[in-house]
A and B are shown apart, each in its own frame.
Chain A
Amino acid sequence: GQQVMQIPQYQHVQEGEDFTTYCNSSTTLSNIQWYKQRPGGHPVFLIQLVKSGEVKKQKRLTFQFGEAKKNSSLHITATQTTDVGTYFCAVLVFNKFYFGSGTKLNVKP
């Protein structure tokens, strides 16, 4: 099955610092999606990337899809305590979603 590797597993930052999580695949991806799961909650869709080299922004969040469509990143500028949670990337292949293992972000106020 499709393998999507996500790093780092954990990230602890001081409020105001930046944060980045990465997803990598050995095969070319047709799309990649990003989800956020707050502690005790369920995953919530953030964004989808489909084009090579695509960059999308949502306020302090910047999402990138690599030129070769084998990797993607989520960058948060100036983290806030509301950013706490686990961030997952996911790939949809023939109606099945393959999730990365997630990066758990902790923000210290």
Chain B
Amino acid sequence: DGGITQSPKYLFRKEGQNVTLSCEQNLNHDAMYWYRQDPGQGLRLIYYSQIVNDFQKGDIAEGYSVSREKKESFPLTVTSAQKNPTAFYLCASKSGRFNTDTQYFGPGTRLTVL
């Protein structure tokens, strides 16, 4: 998991503003993922990408957008349309395309919308 970086660690924004969370990996992994975690909750999938220039919606994609222009980068934009954006956001990556591959997580970004 040391090969995935997320910045910043803490982020504060005013309601109504869009904000972009950074995720970079140097593991040469094909697949990348964004999850949202609320206090005391599990991980919910927002978006995922299996290859450059391609991505799919997860279970809670409304109010979020992503891009995958480079293999190493998978930024997440939290838009003003997201009703309750305050949460812990985790980025992850996975090598290969097999159902036996493991997932590596970045340190996460804690977003607080004031």
Task: Give a binary string over B1-38; 1 marks a CB under 8 Å from any A CB, 0 the rest.
Answer: 10000000000000000000000000000010100000
Task: Give a binary string over B76-105; 1 marks a CB under 8 Å from any A CB, 0 the rest.
Answer: 000000000000001010100101111111
**Bound: A31/B40 CA distance, A:** 25
**Bound: A50/B1 CA distance, A:** 22
Choose among A42, A48, A88 the residue that contacts B1 (Cβ–Cβ < 8 A): A42
In the complex, whether A30 has a CB less than 8 A from a CB of chain B is: yes
Collect the chain B residues with CB atoms within 8 Å of residue A24's CB.
none
26 example contacts (A-B, Cβ-Cβ < 8 A) are as follows: A1-B59, A6-B42, A31-B100, A41-B107, A41-B108, A43-B43, A43-B90, A43-B103, A45-B104, A90-B103, A92-B99, A92-B103, A93-B99, A95-B31, A95-B50, A95-B94, A96-B48, A97-B45, A97-B92, A97-B103, A99-B42, A99-B43, A100-B42, A101-B42, A102-B41, A104-B40
